[in-house]
Structure 1
Amino acid sequence: MATSEKFAPFLCWVLHRRPYRNTSVIVDLLSADSGRVAAIARGGQRQPLLQPFRPLWVEWRGRGELRSLGAIEPAGVAFALQGEALYCGLYLNEMLVRLLHRDDAHPELQEVYAATLAALAAKELPVDIILRHFELRLLDLIGYGLSLDQDANGQPLLSGLRYRLSPGQGLLLDVSGPFSGEILNDIAAGHWHDEARRLARDLMREALSPHLGGRPLVSRSLFRNAGKGAS
């Protein structure tokens, strides 16, 4: 007697969704096992679980660029992000969609993502500091890590000197560089005074820019329109 095929569920987060045909949606999912996965959810426009910031158990079929979603069940409660934290959550999701290649797994990233959402929801730190921690960890996990305690030649950053960021290399000595060695050392040590927070924002924008391509981030526009500057 024939038996129905069994599919093991994956723990996933919805990063992005867009309508497809009449009632379906195409979703980008973050999975520890498979990385970023795109899938069609038939009738997904009527599925209330397919929302961001909520862990889900998801089954899918297929191995191409576009899977077909099967069963969906909650794996926990959604993080209730509001106001500035909501913009930050949208920024995280957009960054992951833009920076991650499909089916390129980074198992630790899902844990980092969930911890970041939890920190945003709990308001443990100012949101810009939470984002800086996430950006640094994300770059490290996808192979573009940025050292904040030594330059591209392996030398310690010195307080009296200035540095510039060279894509693919790291921080280089430059007498007219935009980044102060003293402030970079403060960031590495976790001393998040106002000047360190401004420098960290500018530094991370430079570090991320080569990997984002020419298109601006929609979430940054939302921040600007709301009078925020965390991203």
Structure 2
Amino acid sequence: MTTDGDSGGLEQVWVLHTRPYRNTSLILELFGERRGRIGAVARSGRKNHLLQAFRPLRADFHGRGELLTLGHCEAEGPALPLTGRGLFCGLYLNELLTRLLHRFDPHPELLSPYVVTLSALAQDGVPQDVLLRRFELTLLDVLGYGLALEQDANGAPVRADGTYQLDPHQGLLPAREGWPGNDLLAIAADAWHDSARRTARQLLRAALAPHLGSKPLMSRELFR
């Protein structure tokens, strides 16, 4: 998909990834409210302290094709103070969006969950793994791969005393061994007891795997 970068004026964007380009420039992957994932060249971008992850920006672009050129760029607020595991979690969110979103395929309904999750990761409160699981569930739903956790692939209600496996193409299937139905119902109800959190981590990893492909996530390596 190609796009015309001169339409619409300033757009709220967040930097997902940067890499050096030529002597002083950067190639950016950004997440925007109108265009979705944006690929852009930032001329002399290595000198621009605004071009960092976790800072809300407003920017415009020019050019056509898969890689636009960054034009005007200004801060919309301070960078979120992510540190330690919170920083790794933020990098994981950015890598998910970079890997799963197609360039210039808008998903405006993802912007608020993304910002809310980053903001929560910068504070003490909800456990970080729960924040990630909530975002993963939302991301899958927005992309059309949402998980039905209250009924199985045959349309029968998930039983609290049952066990289930996930078929990525069909959904949950009853099985002799698998994830406890009680945990699946808890996840669906946003009730995050310890067992549900363990199940959610395994379940979401299995659900995301077909869409991420075989290349390992760098952010997961950081956790190790």
Give the gaps of 5 or more residues in structure 2.
1-5
CA deviations on 1:141-170 (whole Å, 9 max, x unpaired) are 111111111112222110121110001211
Determine whether 1:189 maps to 2:183: no
Aligned-partner Cα distance in 2 for 1:6–1:145: 32
2:70 matched residue in structure 1 = 69
Q: Secondary structure at the match of 2:150?
A: coil
Q: Secondary structure at the match of 1:146?
A: coil
| Amino acid across the alignment from 1:143 | G
1:146 matched residue in structure 2 = 147
1:54 matched residue in structure 2 = 55
Conserved 8 A contact 1:163-1:172 = yes
2:208 matched residue in structure 1 = 208
Aligned-partner Cα distance in 2 for 1:33–1:190: 29
Deviation, structure 1 residue 184: 1.0
Give the gaps of 5 or more residues in structure 1.
225-231
Aligned-partner Cα distance in 1 for 2:111–2:188: 24
Q: Secondary structure at the match of 1:132?
A: helix
Percent identity of equivalent pairs: 54
2:13 matched residue in structure 1 = 12
| Amino acid across the alignment from 2:218 | V
Aligned-partner Cα distance in 2 for 1:189–1:105: 29
Q: Secondary structure at the match of 1:122?
A: coil
Question: Cα distance 1:107–1:174, how it changes in 2: closer, same or farther (>3 A)?
Answer: same
1:37 matched residue in structure 2 = 38
Which structure 1 residue ranges, 4+ long, deviate > 6 Å from structure 2?
none
CA deviations on 1:70-89 (whole Å, 9 max, x unpaired) are 01001112110011100000
RMSD of the alignment, in Å? 1.3
Structure 1 length normalisation: TM-score?
A: 0.92
CA deviations on 1:57-99 (whole Å, 9 max, x unpaired) are 1110023000001010011121100111000000000000000
1:228 matched residue in structure 2 = none
| Amino acid across the alignment from 1:54 | R
Conserved 8 A contact 1:14-1:53 = yes
Deviation, structure 1 residue 6: 8.7
CA deviations on 1:170-223 (whole Å, 9 max, x unpaired) are 1111122x2111111122222212111111000000000000010010000000
CA deviations on 1:22-54 (whole Å, 9 max, x unpaired) are 000000010121110100000000000000001
Q: Secondary structure at the match of 2:146?
A: coil
2:3 matched residue in structure 1 = none
Question: Cα distance 1:17–1:149, how it changes in 2: closer, same or farther (>3 A)?
Answer: same
Number of residue pairs matched by the alignment: 219
2:118 matched residue in structure 1 = 117
1:172 matched residue in structure 2 = 173
2:98 matched residue in structure 1 = 97
Deviation, structure 1 residue 7: 6.4
1:155 matched residue in structure 2 = 156
